[in-house]
Amino acid sequence: MSVNEDHTTGRIGTDHVIVSTMNDLPGYQVTEVLGDVFGLTVRSRHLGSQLGAGLKSMFGGELKGMTKMLSDSREEARQRLVEHALELGADAVLAMRFDANDFADIGQEICAYGTAVRIRADKL
């Protein structure tokens, strides 16, 4: 993904948010901390994937249906995190992490969270 940078101010454009698991961003200076942001999704487990998972657990192997569900859930939570950051006017989200929990034995909760910040490119 390209970064839309305004070369007169060094600020990042409003249509992109850089998401990083690092606490800082090389080449950029944090100019303002906007606060914590998160994206959350809860997905129920599909009966077919539950049955398939039960059979696979007896014989071993990847639970592809569950893997796809969790991957899709992480992407949805991450996208909601970005939307939340954009609402605050953020250029970036630092220290992004995922958290996952079982939800009432019927589904999985996935949360993406981090710190929304405004950044400026370092002057050379």
Q: Has residue 14 got a pLDDT over 60?
A: no
Name which residue leads in pLDDT, 34 or 107: 34
Percent of the chain with pLDDT over 70: 75
**Domain boundaries defined on the chain:** 19-121
pTM attached to this predicted model: 0.76
3-state secondary structure of 103: strand
Task: Using alpha carbons, list the distances in angstroms from residue 31 to 3, 74, 88, 92.
Answer: 17, 29, 14, 11
Task: Using alpha carbons, list the distances in angstroms from residue 83 to 24, 36, 51, 96, 111.
Answer: 21, 13, 35, 14, 14
Q: Has residue 68 got a pLDDT over 90?
A: no
Across-strand partners of 28?
A: 121
Across-strand partners of 98?
A: 112
For domain 19-121, the question of CATH label 3.40.50.300 is answered with no
Between CA 105 and CA 116 the distance in angstroms is 32
